[in-house]
């Protein structure tokens, strides 16, 4: 409200300079210059109790509007509920009143990018916020322009907690299976659809001949006979006896192959079990 009062006071002062009988066009131009709207457009005069605030409060996710100096000029009820403050405790303040300096600095830097570039490109911030310690949120914000000039920043905060939990679980699962892969006593080799070695675990590196067991090498180089590789690839998933070139010479092993799709590409994993131990 202090911001609105300041605009009205400025309008009154400028209006006095137009004299006792100002032209309608001059008054309309003055309204546009100060309030950013035409003389017949009253939307810029709306206050907290008007339709504009009602529309904001109807939005179920936190929304805010800041001027180019980072001062909150408007926010909705969802933001107040999320931050645990009344609207009058947020409006007139900056991010530095609610966030750590590092977090507020990152917000300010994003604002400056949008303002300086006069850009409508959205900037995204991720993190945890006051009153939301157990949650994870993303802020999508963009510059608000009127007549080609940036007047502020509009921000929308989206709750991504459930998505984050799913993402964390996926990463944990991947780390778990990667650990199984690396620590397995069985030599395991992963190839792509062109039969080129993509990865192998520690057991495979230690077992196979060092000249053959390298990424980028063709998998058939690990076998004594190319026919053993072909026999394994045509097997229906069961164990197949093959002879491979280990670091200690030719060794008979039982090999099994499985396939999966990784990043849209079919890959194959070979697991080898020694028969001489």
171-195 pLDDT tens trace:
666 677 777 788 888 888 988 888 8
Q: Worst-scoring range by mean pLDDT, 5-14, 95-104, 163-172?
A: 163-172
Angle at 37 between CA 35 and CA 140, to 5 degrees: 85
Q: Where does the pLDDT of residue 94 fall: very low under 50, low under 70, confident under 90, or very high at 90 and above?
A: very high
**pLDDT computed for residue 198 by the predictor:** 87
Whole-angstrom Cα distance, residue 110 to residue 101?
Answer: 14
Pairing of strands 188-191, 197-200: antiparallel
Q: Is the pLDDT of residue 48 over 50?
A: no
Tokens 């998933």 — which residue? 237
Whole-angstrom Cα distance, residue 76 to residue 141?
Answer: 15
- Which tokens in the block code for residue 1? 């409200």
Could you tell me if 44 and 65 are in contact, meaning their C-beta atoms sit under 8 angstroms apart?
no
As a whole number of Å, the CA-based R_g of the chain is 33
More confident residue, 70 or 31: 70
List of domains in the chain: 1-43 (no CATH), 46-162 (3.30.450.20), 184-274 (3.30.450.20)
- Which tokens in the block code for residue 217? 């090498």
State whether the Cα torsion 55-61-67-73 is positive or negative.
positive
Q: Where does the pLDDT of residue 146 fall: very low under 50, low under 70, confident under 90, or very high at 90 and above?
A: confident
Q: Is the pLDDT of residue 271 over 70?
A: yes
* Closest of 187, 183, 193, 179 to residue 271, by C-alpha: 187
**pLDDT computed for residue 3 by the predictor:** 58
Burial 179-216 (b: 16+ CB within 10 A, else e): eebeeeebbbbbbeeeeebbbbbebbeebbeeebbeee
Tell me if residue 71 falls in helix, strand or coil. coil
**pLDDT computed for residue 24 by the predictor:** 64
Q: Is the pLDDT of residue 44 over 60?
A: no
The average confidence (pLDDT) of the chain is: 78
Could you tell me if 128 and 122 are in contact, meaning their C-beta atoms sit under 8 angstroms apart?
no
Q: Is the pLDDT of residue 132 over 80?
A: no
Range 188-203 average pLDDT:
88
73-89 pLDDT tens trace:
888 898 888 888 898 89
**pLDDT computed for residue 277 by the predictor:** 58
DSSP 223: B
Q: Is the pLDDT of residue 35 over 80?
A: no
Could you tell me if 252 and 275 are in contact, meaning their C-beta atoms sit under 8 angstroms apart?
yes
State whether the Cα torsion 198-203-206-212 is positive or negative.
negative
208-252 pLDDT tens trace:
877 766 777 888 888 888 888 888 888 766 788 899 888 888 889
Q: Is the pLDDT of residue 207 over 70?
A: yes
Q: Is the pLDDT of residue 43 over 60?
A: no
């Amino acid at each position: 409200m202090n911001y609105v009062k300041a605009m009205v006071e400025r309008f009154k002062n400028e209006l006095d300079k137009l004299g006792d009988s100002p032209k309608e066009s001059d008054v309309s131009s003055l309204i546009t210059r100060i309030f950013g709207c035409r003389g017949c457009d009253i939307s810029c005069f709306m206050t907290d109790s008007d339709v504009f605030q009602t529309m904001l409060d109807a939005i179920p996710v936190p929304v805010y509007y800041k001027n180019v100096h980072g001062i909150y000029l408007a926010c909705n009820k969802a933001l107040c509920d999320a931050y645990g403050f009344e609207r009058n405790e947020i409006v007139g303040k900056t991010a530095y009143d609610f966030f750590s300096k590092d977090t507020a600095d990152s917000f300010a830097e994003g604002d400056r990018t949008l303002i300086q570039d006069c850009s409508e490109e959205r900037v995204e911030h991720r993190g945890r916020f006051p009153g939301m310690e157990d949650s994870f949120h993303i802020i999508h914000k963009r510059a608000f322009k009127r007549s080609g000039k940036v007047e502020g920043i509009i921000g929308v905060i989206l709750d991504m907690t459930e998505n984050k939990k799913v993402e964390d679980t996926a990463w944990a699962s991947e780390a778990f299976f990667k650990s199984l892969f690396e620590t397995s006593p069985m030599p395991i080799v992963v190839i792509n659809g062109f039969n080129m070695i993509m990865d192998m675990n520690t057991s495979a590196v230690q077992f196979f001949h060092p000249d053959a067991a390298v990424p980028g090498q063709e998998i058939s180089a690990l076998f004594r006979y190319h026919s053993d590789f072909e026999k394994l690839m045509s097997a229906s998933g069961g164990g197949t006896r093959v002879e491979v070139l280990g670091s200690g010479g030719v060794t008979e092993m039982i090999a099994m192959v499985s396939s999966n799709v990784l990043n849209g590409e079919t890959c194959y994993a070979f697991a080898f079990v020694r028969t001489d131990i």
